Structure 1
Amino acid sequence: MANGRVAGWWRAWRASTPPFAADHRPWTLPDQPFAMWQVWRDLLFAHWPVPPEMLRQTIPAGLDLDLFEGQAWVGVVPFRMSGIRLRGQPVAAPWLGAFPELNVRTYVTAPGGARAGVYFYSLDAGNPVAVALARRWYHLPYFFARMRVGERAGWIEYDSWRVHPGAARSRFRGRYRPLGEPYRAAPDSLEAWLTERYALYTADRQGRPLRGEIHHLPWPLQRAEAELQFGALTAQHGIVLPDRPPLLHFARRLDIVAWTLTPFG
C-alpha cells in the first residue's frame, strides 16, 4: 500500500504538462510545469455589454481593455470550486476542500492585443484559507464570504454575503439551471470570445502587471436561465449594468490547470 502511494505521488510530480489536448489554444502552452489543478462545477456565466469608456479607467496600467466588435463586457460568475491540488499531489488538499466562489470580471489583453485573458474586479470565496493564499500568492482581490449553494428541482441555488474584514459588503442571491445539451462554442463567436480565455491578469503591490496562464479543454457550454439579485457587487467598481437580461451560459464541470504568475511588459 505504501509503495502504491509513493508511486502515485511520483507519477503526479512528473506530470509537468496537462494530460489533455492543447491544439485549441490560441497560443502554445508555457514551457515551465504547471503549478496546480482545480475543478470548477455548476458554473454560470452571466454577461452584460457595457461601454468601453466605463471600464478603461478601472483596469491597471499595462493592460488593454479587450473588445468584441467595439463593445466591452462584464461577467458575474458563480460556481463551486473543488479538487484543488498542487502538482505533485495525487489527491486534493484537505484543508481547501470544496467551496463556493463568485467573481466579477472583464476582459483584457497584454499591450497590443496579445494573449487575451480575464481581469477580476473581485472574487468572493467561502474558504478563508483559500482567500488568504490567493491574495498572497496570486495578488488577486479575493474576499471571504458566507456562502450557501445547493441544488433543488434542477436549479442551482446560490447565496453569498461578503464579510471580509475591511471590505465593502455585498450580497448576491439567485438560482440558475442549464437548458439543452452541452455544446462547444463556434470559433470567432461571442460565446467563444467570452469563455475561451487562457490567462488571468492582475498587478502586484507596486503596480507591476502580472499574468497567470491557465489551460483546460474547450468549455462544455449549455444555454441557461437564471434569477439573480445583486446590487453593490458591480456598482462598487463603478460599473453600471444595462437594463437588459444578461447573456447566460452554464457549465457542469471543467478541469483546469494553472501556472504561477509572471511579470510582463
Structure 2
Amino acid sequence: MFHLARQKLTDENHYKIEKTRRKQIPEPLHFNRERNLPIATIFGKRGFFVFPSVQSYDMFKRTNFNLSVLDADGVGVPLFHIVQNYNIIGQIVGKSSNFTIFRYVLQRAQDPPLYTKCKVICEDKAFRLCKIPFCEIYSQLSFRDTKYEFFYPSRSQSVNNYQMVRQNNFRDLDVCLNGMNFRWHVKVLSDHYRLTYLDENPPSNNQTNTQKQSQRKTDSPDFVLGHYKRDYSNLLPRSIAKASNLIIGENSRHDCLGISSVPELTEMLACQGALVEYLEHIERRNN
C-alpha cells in the first residue's frame, strides 16, 4: 500500500526504497517495487557485470554463458558489462570514452542483427543473445569538479546524454536527468551510497567552494530511490564473485527478473550505479 506521507527509513530498513504518490514527487518516481541488481566480477574478464535480478545472478553462477536454452525473459544473463578504456591520447583530445557500458539483448533467432557492432554471445533455435555498445562515459576534469558525460549512441529516445558531476574533495555525485535532480550521497568512511531525489536545485557553479560545502551539509535527502552498497560475502577468490548490490525503485511487475523487462529509467540509473562501482574500485586500487 502506498503512503501519502513521506516514509521514514529506519535503521532496520535503510536499504529499502521509499514508495509514495505524494504530488511533490514526479510521477516516474512513483514506485511499487525494488529491483536488486547484483554487480559482479567474472574471472578472466575485465570490468564489472550488472545483473537484472538476484535470481538472474544465481542462475548465471551455475551456467555462466554456457546456455543450451535461452530464457524468453532473459533470465540468467547479465544486463550490463562496464569496462574502463585505456586510450590515453584519445581521452585527452576527447575522442575516446573513459568507460564503455555494453548491454546484453535477447533477439528472436529469425531477427536480423541489431547493429554492425553487435556481437553474438550464444543462440538456440528460438533466441539469440547479443552484446551491443550501449553507453559511453567521458570524463572532464577541472580545478572545481569532474564531469562524467553519459552518451547513449544507439538510443532513439529524447534523452541520450546527461552529466554526473563530482565536486573536488567530495564523493557525492550530482545528476540532472529528465529535468529531475538526483544525488548519489555517501557519508565519510562509508561505501553505502543513497540515490536521492532533490526538491531543490544542486549547487550552482557560480557558488564558492565554501558555499557549496555549506549547502551540502544543510541539504537533507527528501526521497530515496536507490542504494549502492559494497558486498563483502565473497572475500575468497571465485570465478564469479559479487562485488556490490545496486537497489533501485521502479514501477513494474514483481516477476520481471530478466534483461527483457527492465524499464528505461532503471537502465539509466543502473548505468550510473555501474560507474559508482568503478570509481570506488579505482579509489581502492589507488590507495
Provide the TM-score with structure 2 as the length reference.
0.26
Q: Of Structure 1 and Structure 2, which has the larger fraction of its residues in strand?
A: 1
More helix by share: 2
Q: Which has the larger radius of gyration?
A: 2
